[in-house]
Amino acid sequence: MTRIAHFSDIHISSPGATIARLWQGKRLLGGMNMLLFRRRELQNTRLPLLLEHLEAQKVDHVIASGDFTTTAIKAEYQEARLALDPLFQAQKITTIPGNHDIYTPREARERRYEQFFGDSHGPSESSTGYPFAKEIDDNIAIIGLNSCVPTGLSGAWGILDDEQLQRLPALLQKHQGRFRILVLHHFLLDRHGYHGLPRRGLRNRDALSAILQKEGCELILHGHEHARYRYEIQGPHGPIPVHNPGPATCVSAARHHPGGYLIYDIQDGQIKGIEGCTLSFPEGHIEEDNNFPSIDPIEGSAL
């Protein structure tokens, strides 16, 4: 039995550093949103408690599907890396970037995410490092994608570049026979079962879906949408489960909007069990919560 935890969207914020950079284009919108609203729900102070609780669960590996930062400034990256460093030191974590981690063209040029978190990746034959594959053991492989690009003032959409789409089929074939976990940040369906507005969704999701319908995988994990939910897409031998754990550090009264993480027990190429933990409102205590709603695609959004 292999135990794998998944969390996403911790959105570390650094108010002082952000205020000093509010004049920088997109950070005016993102920074003000963080200062006025988001930091009340996405609470930095909950992350150490969450990680301590996660450590006690004796998981074998942890997957984090992006949005470690709020506006991708170095102070946020430094705080996120410091908090997660024990997992890096133990070589127990695999990460991919989120749209907030590649917030402006400057972060993309500097490859700031890769500077702080690239050492969690597996080998890649691409010059960009994506897609990569990381073998957790003889039976499980994590395949990481980067769906994030700078998107202008109000965009949060994603796209997979041509090289990733071209290399992905061979990578899925190479690890056929293992339990393949495909990880990307952007959703294929939002919590309403919709493929997403153009400013938020994965713009070439149909191209990814076509690959998965042919090559398959055993589980898809993502973040981006701040809600915990699951759905399925079609694979070559039946449905492929797609799961979003919700924003890890969120403390919210909205029932669809819990913070926390999920743990998967994987054995013999199958998911044998799923455990959920959430942050209670308003205290922010960690509670067992195995409520994991399933959604159906609305008309015109089926994959």
CATH code: domain of residue 259: 3.60.21.10
Domain-embedded: residue 302: no
Task: Please tell me the predicted confidence (pLDDT) of residue 20.
Answer: 44
Contact 5, 63 (CB under 8 A): yes
pLDDT for the residue numbered 19: 45
Walk along the chain (303 residues) in steps of 10 and give the mean pLDDT of each run.
97 62 53 50 75 95 96 92 97 97 90 97 96 97 97 87 98 97 97 88 96 98 95 96 94 70 97 92 81 87 74
Indicate whether 303 belongs to any domain: no
Residue 135: per-residue pLDDT: 97
Domain membership of residue 294 (yes or no) is: no
Strand order, beta sheet including 140-144? 132-135, 140-144, 179-183, 219-221, 238-245, 228-235
Position 126 in a domain: yes
In degrees to the nearest 10, what's the CA dihedral of 30, 284, 287, 64?
30
Confidence at residue 255, expressed as pLDDT on a 0 to 100 scale: 62
pLDDT at 83: 95
**Domain boundaries, position 142:** 2-288
The domain total for the chain is 1
